[in-house]
Amino acid sequence: MTAADRDPPVLPAGLRERVLAASLRARAVGRPVPGAPEISAAEAFSRAASAFYALLCFLSDDDWRTPVLRGLDVQGLVGHLIGVENDMHRALAGDPEVADASHVESTQAAAVDQAVRPPAQTRADWRRAADRTLDLVRSADSGAEVAMHGTRLPLSALLVVRAFELWTHENDIRQATGWAASIPDTSTLRLMTGLAARLLPHAAARAGLAEPVDVRLVLTGPGGGTWDLTVGAGPSVPAAVSIVTDAVGFCRLAANRVTAGDLDVHVTGDPGQATAVLAAAAMLALD
């Protein structure tokens, strides 16, 4: 908008403050419209598991042989996820061996083992493993820390991470086999964007962001919201930058499936700093 579009500032004194205060009494900052029913992290994981299983049920035998990721075909990737569920069961039981285990290496055997099995068996085994996870988390304290594959997170946060992972791999398979991309339901997406936003400062730390930046992150569309975060570190006064982008696109960025350059991003402040922050978001994925 150009300056010429703006109206002359001749409004009565105090009106701006009064109007903004009245508005925020009607709706709090960061609360998206339309809203979505709040769900538990376990429910989000359950929904992601259901969506993943539904896709597996539609795959042909040829689809199961399609290469997807890290040299794995679809069946191998599902085998990898069986391994992840098994490690999660051990983590929930407090097994220290899975706390620092490599996410890829510790599940590689489960992935390779699938090659000689019928796809239906792999699918059924994954479903059983995911159901076992759900059984275990229902009786667990959602605030208890769980250590697994180099992470230590409250169970509720870990379940959102797991929902994130299932949705990401579901879309890996969808793309590889020619199915349209999927978007999580709004309640699940809201949990995913909330977690990714809160973890952004840690991603920036991993990325080695040198200058401190006060970020207003605005994720638009269903499942979006607004977050104020300080990322980076250093003695200087933080610069301020506002980043506006689509909620689903940001989740794909955080899963390292797209780059910042793939997204439509609207920025106020230094575009270079905004680009650095968005690049850091991709560090949320440990590869």
Partner 1 sequence: MVTYSWQDPAEGTVIATPSQLCLDDPSTAPAISEYCPAATRRASVQGVGGSDAVLAARLAAGDDHALAEVFDTFAYSVYRTALRVLGDNSAAQDVVQDVLVELWAHPDRYDPAAGTLRTYLTVLARHRAVDLVRSELRRVARQERSYRLTPAPAPAGVGDELLAAETASLVRAAVQLLPASQRQVVELAYFEGQTCREVAHAVGIPEGTAKSRLRLALAKLEEMLDRELLESS
Site for partner 1 in 161-190 (CB under 8 A): 161, 164-165, 168-169, 171-172, 174-176, 180-181
> CB of residue 147 vs partner 1: minimum separation in angstroms?
7
CB of 209 to partner 1, least distance (A): 13
Rounded to 5°, angle at Cα 181 from 177 and 182: 125
- Three-class DSSP category at 28: coil
Q: Mark the segment that binds partner 1 (CB under 8 A) among 43-51, 54-62, 132-140, 266-274.
A: 266-274
C-alpha–C-alpha distance, residues 56 and 63, integer Å: 9
Residue 226, phi-psi category: left (phi > 0), alpha (psi -120 to 50), beta (remainder): beta
Span interacting with partner 1, options 8-16, 50-58, 86-94, 130-138, rule CB under 8 A:
8-16
**Residue 153 interacting with partner 1 (CB under 8 A):** yes
Contacts of 83 (CB under 8 A, 6+ apart): 106, 107, 108, 109, 110, 111
- Minimal distance, residue 93 CB to partner 1, in Å: 18
Q: Of the candidates 4, 33, 93, 237, which one interacts with partner 1 according to CB under 8 A?
A: 33
Closest approach of partner 1 to the CB of residue 74, in Å: 13
- Distances in Å between the alpha carbon of 39 and those of 9, 50, 194, 207? 45, 15, 13, 32
Rounded least distance, CB 133 to partner 1, Å: 16
Other beta carbons within 10 angstroms of residue 107's beta carbon come to 21
Q: Is 69 in the site for partner 1 (CB under 8 A)?
A: yes
In the bound state with partner 1, the residue whose beta carbon lies nearer, of 138 and 152, is 152
Minimum gap (Å) between residue 172 Cβ and partner 1: 6
Taking CB under 8 A as the binding criterion, the range among 87-95, 97-105, 114-122, 124-132 that sits at the site for partner 1 is 97-105
Q: Considering the rule CB under 8 A, would residue 105 count as an interface residue with partner 1?
A: no
- Where does residue 12 rank: exposed (0-12), middle (13-18), buried (19+ CB within 10 A)? exposed
Smaller CB distance to partner 1: residue 127 or 149? 149
| Cis ω before 34 (30° cut-off from 0) | yes
Min CB(17)–partner 1 separation in Å = 10
Q: Which residue has the tokens 């508005």?
A: 23
Which residues in 199-258 contact partner 1 (CB under 8 A)? 199, 201-203, 205-206, 216, 218-221, 224-226, 242, 244, 246, 249, 251-252, 254-258
Distance CA 98, CA 146 (A): 10
The upper half-sphere exposure of residue 224, i.e. CA atoms within 13 Å in the direction of its Cβ, equals 20
Q: For the chain, how far is it from start to end, CA to CA, in angstroms? A: 41
49 vs 118 by CB, closer to partner 1: 49
